[in-house]
């Protein structure tokens, strides 16, 4: 990846996609959230992304796109995180692969290992090092448009 700031796209700005993307954006990374829930995308665009819970209380300005707006993005991403429900894995992974920087962009499967083989089958066709699997040990709530709440999974299991 180049010397410039790494461009990160997140397909699926639901619970975990927003927490990961929001915290990366808060840390100064170039992040774009992409989602299919219109009200959620509009809330992030107009009021920012609100994060709460064990990550603290944050209002993060982060670019958010409706799925169809991704067609207007001209600069490819260095990394695209796939953070969608299982039934959306293939099309979301293809969308991610279509917007990757060549030849060294990567797709990060952020579905806790459940769909690694499905993501690899789509994004790893051209090269076997294009897919990275990622896991998280937090429960994240998608409460209302533009708000995500994060709690460590261990804390929830103790309750």
Position 26 confidence tier, pLDDT thresholds 50, 70, 90: very high
CA atoms within 13 A on the CB side of 23: 15
More confident residue, 126 or 118: 118
Per-residue pLDDT tens digits for 27-66:
999 999 999 999 999 999 999 999 988 888 999 999 999 9
pLDDT-derived band at 102 (thresholds 50, 70, 90) equals confident
DSSP 4-62: SPPEEEEE--SHHHHHHHHHHHHTT-EEEEEES-HHHHHHHHHH-EEEEETT--EEE--
CA distance 114 to 2: 31
Distance (Å, rounded) from C-alpha 59 to C-alpha 67? 23
pTM above 0.95, yes or no: no
């Amino acid at each position: 990846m180049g010397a410039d700031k790494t461009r990160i796209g997140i397909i699926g700005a639901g619970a975990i996609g927003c927490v990961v993307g929001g915290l990366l954006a808060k840390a100064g990374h170039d992040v774009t959230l992409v989602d299919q829930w219109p009200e959620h995308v509009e809330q992030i665009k107009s009021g920012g992304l609100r994060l709460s819970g064990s990550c603290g209380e944050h209002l993060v300005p982060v670019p958010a796109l409706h799925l169809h707006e991704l067609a207007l993005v001209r600069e490819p991403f260095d990394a695209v995180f796939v953070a969608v429900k299982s039934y959306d894995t293939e099309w979301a992974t293809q969308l991610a692969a279509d917007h990757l920087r060549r030849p060294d962009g990567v797709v990060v499967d952020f579905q806790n290992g459940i769909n690694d083989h499905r993501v690899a089958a789509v994004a790893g066709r051209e090269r076997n090092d294009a897919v990275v699997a990622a896991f998280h040990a937090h429960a994240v709530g998608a409460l209302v448009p533009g708000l995500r709440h994060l709690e460590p999974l261990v804390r929830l299991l103790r309750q």
